[in-house]
Amino acid sequence: MTTGARAARMPAGAVQRARRVPYARAFYGLMVRDARVLRREFVAFLLRTVMNPLLFVFVFTYVMPKIGRGFGGTAAGGVSFATVLVPGLIAVAVFFQGIAAVALPLATELGGTREIEDRLMAPLPISLVAFEKVVFSAFQSLLAALVVFPLLYLIPAEPVVVHIASWPLLIVVVLLAGLLAGFLGLLLGTVVPPRQIGLIFSLVVVPITFLGCVYYPWQELSPIPWLKAFTLINPLVYVSEGLRAAMTPELPHMPVPAVLAALVTITALLAWLSTRSFIRRVTG
C-alpha cells in the first residue's frame, strides 16, 4: 500500500498528528541552529545587551552620587533613583534585545545573498518559520534580563530596594515583552530596506526609551497630561510598568489588568501584521 493510500485510510485527527511531528522536529532544528549561532556570538550578545544599561547605571547611580550630584528621592516617597531604574532598564534590555535579535539578522538574510531561502527549505509553513525567529528572540530577551539584573542591583552606590511581589506577574510580563519585541523586530526587518535598518533602529530606540517610563513611573507624568496620554502608544511603557508592579510595588504604577490587556493586545496585533509582512516579503 502506498503512503498516499495509507494516509487516505487514516482518520483526519491521526493525519494532523502525523503532520505535527515533522513540524515539531523542523522547528526544534531551527532553534538548535540559532542556538549554535548565538553560542559563537555570545560575546557580541553580551556587549549588545549590557553596554547601555551598564553605562547608564554606572554614571547616574554610582558616579554622580559619589561626587555629590546624585538624584534624591522620588515622588513615591524617598525611594532612590536606582530603585526606580531597575524595572525600567530591565524592560529596555528585554525589549531591545528582542527587537535586535530578529530585525538585524533578518536584514542580512533578506539582503542580496537571500540567506532566508535556507530557512524556507525547512518542512514548515512560512508562518512557523517566522514564529521560530520570534520565539528564539524571546529566549534571548530572557537571557538579557538575567544578565542585566545583577548589574543593576550591585553597581549603584545608592540602596536598591527590590522585592518580587508576584513571580507569576514577573514571568508573564517578561515573556509577553519578549514576544512583543520579537514581532516588532520581525515587522521592522520586513518593511525596512536592509541598508536602512541601522538608521531606523536609531530613530526607534531613542524616543521609545526616553518616552517608555524607564526613568520614571507613568503616573508621575500627571503634571503633563498630554505627554501622559501620548506615551500610551509606546509598548515599552507597559513593559516598564508591568515590571515595576512586579518588582517595586511600592512605586506608583499602572493597574496590572490594564498592563496585561495592553501587552496581549499589542502582541496579537504585531503578530498578525509582522507575519503577513514576512510572508509577503519572502514570497514576493
The Cα–Cα gap between 181 and 148 comes to 17
- pLDDT in 10s for each residue of the chain, 284 residues: 444 444 445 454 444 554 566 888 888 888 888 888 888 888 888 887 777 777 777 877 788 777 765 554 444 456 778 888 889 989 998 998 899 889 988 888 887 666 788 788 878 899 999 999 999 999 999 988 888 888 887 888 777 888 888 899 999 999 999 999 999 999 998 988 877 877 777 777 778 888 999 989 999 999 999 999 999 999 999 999 999 999 999 888 999 999 999 999 999 999 999 999 999 988 87
The verdict on residue 2 lying in a domain is: no
Grid coordinates given for 109: 538574510
The verdict on residue 4 lying in a domain is: no
Residues of the chain by 3-state class (helix, strand, coil), percent to 5:
75, 0, 25
The verdict on residue 63 lying in a domain is: yes
The verdict on residue 3 lying in a domain is: no
pTM of the model: 0.85
Name which of 279, 206, 266 is nearest 239 in CA terms: 266
The verdict on residue 183 lying in a domain is: yes
Q: Following CA atoms 33, 14, 10, 4 in sequence, which dihedral angle do they give, to the nearest 10 degrees? A: -10
The verdict on residue 179 lying in a domain is: yes
- pLDDT score for 6: 44
- pLDDT score for 70: 56
The verdict on residue 19 lying in a domain is: yes
Q: Which residue is listed with cell 514581532?
A: 183
* Count of structural domains within the chain: 1
The verdict on residue 106 lying in a domain is: yes
Domain containing residue 190: 9-283
- pLDDT score for 75: 42
Q: Using CB atoms within 10 A of its CB, is residue 217 exposed (0-12), middle (13-18) or buried (19+)?
A: buried
- pLDDT score for 2: 42
109: number of Cβ within 10 Å? 19
